């Protein structure tokens, strides 16, 4: 039987099932118990169907034309052919044809968390490496706490980071760097005179220590919410309803003072705290509305009486002046006659007296002094 080995192939001669040597291109006629297996060199990696290629590693011709690479446990080999990423090699011995190709390799230690400095950045997004890459993105308004196997390592600023997703468990926790707000809505509290109030308030704050607020406190948001509730309860429960309604700004000041002290313990900087709304029970609102209407009516009556007194005083002063000054009296009389005439369509006068005298006689019935 004739066996032809092409230029892009190599043969492996076996006699009685035992490997003898590697054969180059040519024509061969195995005889008896001899057998030749043919493998292509075009694929790059040495693969002989049904054979363990480690059997050929002692052959001088095989060693001269191949490259052996070993990948240990806990690492992977990134295989590049002619400078182009080709494959990822698991732990074990690997053989590659050197014929017409250049093979380079990059070791990735899975026990490390940082990629080598010479690691090609374009490989971070390669599908074959997705299981080995841990991508962390931190926005401009955040910082991130980095943990390796539950142990805090460092604080990450805004940006994109890549870590080796191997033997170490990598976790992150983000914290906000911008101004934050905590609202407490509908907090129901009894006053000293047993009136149930519902209070809405707000608190704005910043994180003062990004690491300690996470590593040394348990849920700082919930603790701040509780601190707001306790401060409101402390203020309201010792005061009567009238005092609370009259001292809304005092309540806000008290709230700010208490929260600033508590914020320091939680590694927070309290910027502002204020009461937004005080909501009364329905029956109390009705009573207060009735009182308010009564107060406003009383104020309106006082203003009306005051205006009436002022008007009467003005009339008295005017009468006194007209009584003392005949000319002023005459002018006032003419002023009123003018106003009356504006509302009259036609006036007919008879007699020899002057116009003003006759007109006055008509309006008043008789001349003044008669």
- Cβ atoms of 185 and 226 within 8 Å: the answer is no
**141 and 207 part of one domain:** no
**83 and 165 part of one domain:** no
Q: Which of 136, 153, 178 is the last residue of a domain?
A: 178
pLDDT for residue 273: 92
Q: Which of 54, 88, 106 is the last residue of a domain?
A: 106
**42 and 70 part of one domain:** yes
**211 and 262 part of one domain:** yes
For the segment 271-292, what is each residue's pLDDT rounded down to a tens digit? 999 998 888 876 666 666 676 6
Determine phi and psi for 43, rounding to 5 degrees.
Answer: -75, -15
Q: Which of 178, 194, 218 is the last residue of a domain?
A: 178
Helix (H, G, I), strand (E, B) or coil at 182: strand
> In this model, does residue 177 exceed pLDDT 90?
yes
pLDDT for residue 325: 75
- Residue 349 sits in which domain range? 326-370
For the segment 180-236, what is each residue's pLDDT rounded down to a tens digit? 999 998 888 888 888 888 899 999 999 999 999 999 988 999 999 999 999 999 998
**303 and 238 part of one domain:** no
Q: What distance in Å separates the CA atoms of residue 256 and residue 272, rounded to the nearest whole number? A: 7
Q: What distance in Å separates the CA atoms of residue 351 and residue 358, rounded to the nearest whole number? A: 8
Share of the chain above pLDDT 70, in %: 88
**151 and 97 part of one domain:** no
Nearest alpha carbon to residue 236 among 282, 278, 270, 273: 278
Q: Is 27 exposed, middle or buried (0-12, 13-18, 19+ CB in 10 A)?
A: exposed
The residue that leads in pLDDT, 334 or 314, is 314
As for how many domains the chain has, the answer is 5
**32 and 83 part of one domain:** yes
**52 and 88 part of one domain:** yes
Mean of all residue pLDDT scores within the chain = 85
**337 and 287 part of one domain:** no
CATH number at residue 225: 3.30.479.30
For the segment 60-72, what is each residue's pLDDT rounded down to a tens digit? 999 999 999 998 8
Q: Is 68 exposed, middle or buried (0-12, 13-18, 19+ CB in 10 A)?
A: middle
Cα dihedral 38, 40, 46, 47 sign: negative
Average pLDDT over residues 361-365: 61
**249 and 235 part of one domain:** yes
**68 and 116 part of one domain:** no
**128 and 158 part of one domain:** yes
């Amino acid at each position: 039987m004739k066996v032809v080995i092409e230029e892009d192939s190599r043969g492996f001669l076996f006699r009685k099932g035992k490997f003898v040597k590697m054969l180059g291109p040519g024509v061969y006629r195995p005889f008896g118990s001899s057998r030749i297996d043919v493998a292509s060199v075009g694929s790059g990696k040495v693969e002989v169907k049904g054979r363990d290629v480690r059997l050929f590693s002692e052959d001088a011709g095989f060693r001269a034309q191949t490259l052996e690479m070993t990948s240990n446990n806990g690492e992977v080999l990134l295989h590049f052919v002619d400078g182009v990423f080709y494959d990822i090699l698991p732990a074990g011995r690997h053989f590659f044809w050197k014929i017409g190709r250049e093979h380079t390799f990059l070791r990735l230690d899975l026990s490390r968390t940082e990629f080598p400095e010479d690691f090609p950045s374009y490989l971070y997004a390669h599908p074959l490496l997705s299981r080995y890459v841990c991508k962390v993105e931190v926005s401009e308004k955040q910082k991130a706490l980095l943990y390796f196997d539950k142990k805090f390592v460092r604080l990450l600023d805004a940006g994109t980071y890549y870590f080796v997703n191997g033997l170490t468990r990598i976790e992150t926790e983000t914290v906000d760097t911008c101004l934050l707000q905590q609202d407490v809505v509908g907090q129901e509290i009894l006053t000293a005179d047993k009136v149930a109030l519902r209070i809405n308030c707000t608190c704005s704050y910043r994180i003062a220590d990004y690491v300690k607020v996470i590593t040394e406190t348990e849920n700082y948001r919930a603790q701040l919410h509780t601190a707001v509730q306790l401060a409101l309860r402390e203020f309201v429960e010792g005061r009567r309803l009238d005092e609370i309604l009259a001292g809304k700004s005092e309540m806000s000041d008290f709230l700010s003072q208490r929260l600033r002290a508590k914020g320091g313990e939680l590694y927070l900087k309290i910027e502002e705290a204020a009461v937004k709304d005080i909501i009364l029970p329905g029956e109390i609102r009705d009573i207060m509305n009735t009182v308010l209407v009564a107060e406003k009516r009383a104020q309106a009556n006082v203003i009306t009486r005051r205006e009436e007194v002022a008007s009467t005083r003005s009339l008295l002063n005017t009468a006194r002046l007209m009584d003392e000054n005949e000319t002023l009296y005459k002018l006032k009389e003419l002023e009123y006659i003018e106003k009356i005439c504006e509302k009259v369509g036609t006036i007919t006068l008879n007699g020899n007296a002057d116009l003003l005298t006759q007109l006055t006689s008509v309006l008043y019935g008789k001349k003044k002094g008669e």
